[in-house]
Amino acid sequence: MGKSVSVQRGHIPVLVGEGKELQRVLVHRKVLQHPYFTGLLELAAMEFGHDQKGVLRIPCDVKCFHTILQMIRSSTRRKKFFEQKRKEPGIEQMHASRFFLISFLIKAPVPSQKEGHH
């Protein structure tokens, strides 16, 4: 049986990686609500289904995952700083960012948006 490791309050352990190269990462619970992380969760659901047992597994390159976490932290800091000056992104922007992230992670081509009328 594996050894028990305590998890800091407010954090969730996830296993990140592809194949047998997995890394255990502690993610703050607030990160789970970010559209980029939601995209990762959707990717995990596509790969493993919604019925994963044990620690949540994210099928993503470890370096890419840490880059995404850094982007989330950076956007969260900017959001807090400009909260009074800027509106929240619309639902369409959130879905587009999730679609782009999933497409990037599974290396599928991103469909181009229809060009606007000039």
> What number of H helices and E strands is found in the chain?
3, 3
H or E element, residue 12: strand 11-18
Q: Where are the alpha helices (DSSP H) in 49-90?
A: 62-82
Whether the predicted model's global pTM rises above the 0.85 cut: no
Tokens matching residue 4: 């028990």
Closest CA to 23 of 31, 32, 14, 33: 14
pLDDT category at 118 given cuts 50, 70, 90 is very low
Using an 8 Å Cβ cutoff, are 13 and 25 in contact?
yes
In whole numbers, what is the pLDDT of the chain averaged over residues?
A: 76
- A 10 A CB-CB count for 58 gives 24
